[in-house]
Amino acid sequence: MLRKLITVLLIQVMILSLPSVYATTGFTSNLELKVETSFNTYFFGETINIEIKLTNIGDKPVRIEFPSSQIADCQIYTVIDGKPKDLIYHWSYGRAFLQVITPLTFKPGESKTLLSINWNTGVLSLPHDKPLRLSVKGWAPAINLKLEQSIYLNLIPPIGGVLDIQNHWGEKEIREMLGTGLLKLDNSNRFNPQSPLKRIDFFYALAKVLKLPYVTTPYSPFPDVPANHPYINQILALHARGIIKGYPDGTLRPDTNISRAETAVLVSLSLNLKEELKLTFRDVPSSHWASVPISRVVKAKIFKGYNENIFAPSDPLSRAQASVVLVKIKRITGFE
Q: Does one domain contain both 208 and 249?
A: yes
- Judged against a pLDDT cut of 80, whether residue 84 lies above it is answered with no
Predicted confidence at residue 35, as pLDDT, reads: 81
Domain stops at, among 156, 190, 216? 156
Q: Does one domain contain both 294 and 190?
A: yes
Torsion angle of alpha carbons 218, 219, 220, 226, nearest 10°?
90
Q: Is residue 77 part of a domain?
A: yes
- Judged against a pLDDT cut of 70, whether residue 19 lies above it is answered with no
pLDDT band with cut points at 50, 70 and 90 for residue 13: very low
Q: Does one domain contain both 214 and 137?
A: no
Predicted confidence at residue 6, as pLDDT, reads: 33
Predicted confidence at residue 140, as pLDDT, reads: 52
Predicted confidence at residue 244, as pLDDT, reads: 97
Predicted confidence at residue 150, as pLDDT, reads: 58
Q: How far is it, in rounded angstroms, from Cα 146 to Cα 148?
A: 6
**Average pLDDT, rounded, for the chain:** 83
pLDDT tens per residue, range 173-211 = 999 999 888 998 888 888 999 999 999 999 999 999 999
Q: Does one domain contain both 44 and 145?
A: yes
Handedness of CA 320, 183, 171, 302 (dihedral sign): positive
23 or 202, which is more confident? Answer: 202
* Residue among 202, 230, 235, 223 at smallest CA distance from 324: 202
Q: How far is CA 270 from CA 68, 273, 317, in A?
A: 51, 8, 17
Q: Is residue 185 part of a domain?
A: yes
Q: How far is it, in rounded angstroms, from Cα 254 to Cα 257?
A: 8
Cβ atoms of 64 and 21 within 8 Å: the answer is yes
Predicted confidence at residue 82, as pLDDT, reads: 63
Cβ atoms of 312 and 295 within 8 Å: the answer is no
269 or 15, which is more confident? Answer: 269
Cβ atoms of 198 and 255 within 8 Å: the answer is yes
Q: Does one domain contain both 212 and 68?
A: no
Q: Does one domain contain both 133 and 193?
A: no
Tell me what percent of the residues of the chain surpass a pLDDT of 90: 48
Domain stops at, among 105, 130, 156? 156
- Judged against a pLDDT cut of 50, whether residue 91 lies above it is answered with yes
Q: Does one domain contain both 262 and 188?
A: yes
Q: Is residue 166 part of a domain?
A: no
Q: Is residue 161 part of a domain?
A: no
pLDDT tens per residue, range 267-315 = 999 999 999 999 999 999 999 999 999 999 999 999 999 998 999 999 9
Q: Does one domain contain both 208 and 310?
A: yes
Q: Does one domain contain both 112 and 49?
A: yes
Alpha helices in the chain (DSSP H): 171-180, 199-209, 232-240, 260-270, 291-299, 319-333
- Judged against a pLDDT cut of 60, whether residue 12 lies above it is answered with no
Range of the domain at 88: 7-156
Q: Is residue 140 part of a domain?
A: yes
Domain stops at, among 107, 132, 156? 156
67 or 311, which is more confident? Answer: 311
Q: Is residue 271 part of a domain?
A: yes
Q: Does one domain contain both 112 and 191?
A: no
Number of domains making up the chain? 2
Q: At CA 148, angle to CA 142 and CA 153, rounded to 5?
A: 125
pLDDT tens per residue, range 125-149 = 776 766 777 666 555 544 545 544 5
Contacting residues for 68 by C-beta, under 8 A, at least 6 apart:
16, 17, 18, 97, 99, 100, 102
Q: Does one domain contain both 75 and 43?
A: yes
Q: Is residue 163 part of a domain?
A: no
DSSP string, 249-317: TS---TTSBPBHHHHHHHHHHHTT---------TT--TTSTTHHHHHHHHHTTS---SSSS---TTSBP
CATH of the domain at 45: 2.60.40.2360
Query: What is the mean predicted confidence (pLDDT) over 43-59?
Result: 88
Q: Does one domain contain both 94 and 66?
A: yes
Which 3 state secondary structure label does DSSP give 12?
strand
